[in-house]
Structure 1
Amino acid sequence: MANLFGSEVPASPNLADGTGYTLGTRFSATAAGQVVAARWYIPTTANTGNLRFVLYNATGSSILADRTVAAPTTGLGSWQEFAFTTPVTVTVGAQYTIAVLTPNRYVWTQNYTWPKTSGPLTTPNPGGYVSYSSTLAYPNDTFSNVNFFVDVNFQPAAAAAPTVSVWNGSAEIPASVSVWNGSTAVATTLSLAT
């Protein structure tokens, strides 16, 4: 599983302006895979009401995944994950925005070092965006290289099992081969013709 910000912590972990915002991070993937969940660094004081996590396409014209949850009251001041009901397969190189509509509290680091690359995920410069609306709206404004610590869990696609041939002189011989992807066997035997 890949994400952008790992265990990074925002410089300001508990901000409130008395209104809601949609906060987001633009990103793209350099490998095939699926967005399976949103991640957000939860402010140190609980929000009131609900959080809504959405995955937008490149222009914000389409919501590809959507999940509303009660704002957490435990695990404050830490990363939490919110799985989407259906994972979203991404197009390599296409830009997406993962966003959260928060009713009042949020976190940030200003003057964040963009772009950010982590494994197969990368952001543009800048990567953090906001919509100044108390209802869900595509975040399209940015300032001060801000990062709102909205992130994804990205599951890279499994690598295809390689083709293996065993030869003895001019003839292919039978063989049994185990093919592994990390700690998981992706093919336990391959029967090769003679």
Structure 2
Amino acid sequence: MKWFALLLMTGDHVNKVLLHGSAPWLSDAARVVFPLFAAVLAWNVVAAGEGSRNRAIVRLLVAGAVVQPLHALAFGYALPLNILLTLGLGLLVSFGRVWWAMPAWLVGGLFVDYQWAGVGVVLGGAVLANSGGRPAGWAVFAASLLPLCWFNGNAWALLALPLLWMLSRYRADVPRWRWTFLGYYVLHLAALAAIAAS
């Protein structure tokens, strides 16, 4: 699922930076990417336990801060902040104590990509993961996609629901290489930033 999302994300970024938005269907199709990444991330973090969860949060926030200058160079704007920071903030809100998680959502949501809607999707993914895939968890995750659809101005994000449901029932032995996706995100942004600056 993450490989599929990575391909769509790359198409979106190529359209924005190299094609100057001339292939809008690439960006439209990529609206399903963030919900896929958010749900898979939340599921893996819940399955791995608290220690791994804290490491994932720190890894995302540090990597997001490091890559932000490349993101700004590639896309030509400083705000909103890159998607790694949205995912990291989403995990903080999902697993933090309410007294500071809610202010983090309200304030942090001003600055990250997809804003409060994006953080809410990560939270919806965490509810789905904690439910073990029960119908109530799916309902919460589906509801979390509605503000994202409004934010995007289209309903492409809803495609994440059937994709996640179908792929969660498919068992395949796909190799997993640590740091692959995070490394790819950094490297492809560096390449796009170099092209945009040339």
TM-score by length of 2: 0.23
Higher strand proportion, which one?
1
TM-score by length of 1: 0.23
- Please tell me whether Structure 1 or Structure 2 has the larger radius of gyration of its CA atoms: 1
Higher helix proportion, which one?
2
Larger RCO (alpha carbons 8 Å, 6+ apart): 1
